[in-house]
């Protein structure tokens, strides 16, 4: 991944599609924790230019109850696969923390 931090202002939008594989059942028997690895494809748009990315994903969910949990996820976005790539962004990471709700009974 690139090591520079950009100080430029601009709008950043992304759309991602991914598949995750849950690995927690191979590591331990705790039903409150879900660990997963994934891979996906994304497109990010900066101002008027766009580029595709290969996304490498790792994350976990911790369930406080049957319905409420906390999800933490890191996506590493590897890009610049074509001549029209957005070179100002390059490879980058996105981290997210979310509250999640289970709607199934």
Render pLDDT for 60-92 as a digit per residue (tens, 0 to 9): 999 999 999 999 999 998 876 555 545 556 688
Residues contacting 1, CB < 8 A, separation 6+: 76, 78, 91, 92, 93
DSSP 83: T
Q: How far from the centroid of its chain's Cα atoms is residue 38's Cα? A: 9
Is the whole-model pTM more than 0.85? no
Instruction: List the helix and strand counts (H, then E) for the chain.
Output: 1, 5
Residue 52 has pLDDT above 70, yes or no: yes
Q: Hey, what are 77's tokens?
A: 């976005």
Average pLDDT of the chain, as a whole number: 84
What percent of the chain shows pLDDT beyond 90?
48
- pLDDT-derived band of residue 8, with 50, 70 and 90 as boundaries? low
Residue in 96, 80, 90, 97 with CA at minimum distance from that of residue 5: 90
- pLDDT-derived band of residue 1, with 50, 70 and 90 as boundaries? very low
> What is the pLDDT, as a whole number, of residue 25?
87
Q: What number is the average pLDDT over the span 22-48?
A: 89
Output Rg (C-alpha) for the chain, integer angstroms.
16
Residues contacting 13, CB < 8 A, separation 6+: 44, 45
CB-based contact 24:61 (threshold 8 Å): no
Q: What number is the average pLDDT over the span 34-48?
A: 89
């Amino acid at each position: 991944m690139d090591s520079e931090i950009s100080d430029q202002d601009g709008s950043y939008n992304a759309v991602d599609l991914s598949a995750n594989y849950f690995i927690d059942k191979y590591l331990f028997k705790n039903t409150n924790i879900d660990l997963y690895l994934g891979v996906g494809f994304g497109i990010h748009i900066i101002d008027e230019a766009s580029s595709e990315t290969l996304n490498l994903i790792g994350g976990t969910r911790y369930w406080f109850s049957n319905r409420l949990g906390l999800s933490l996820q890191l996506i590493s976005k590897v890009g610049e696969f074509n001549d029209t790539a957005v070179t100002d962004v390059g490879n980058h990471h996105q981290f997210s923390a979310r509250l999640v709700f289970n709607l199934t009974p």
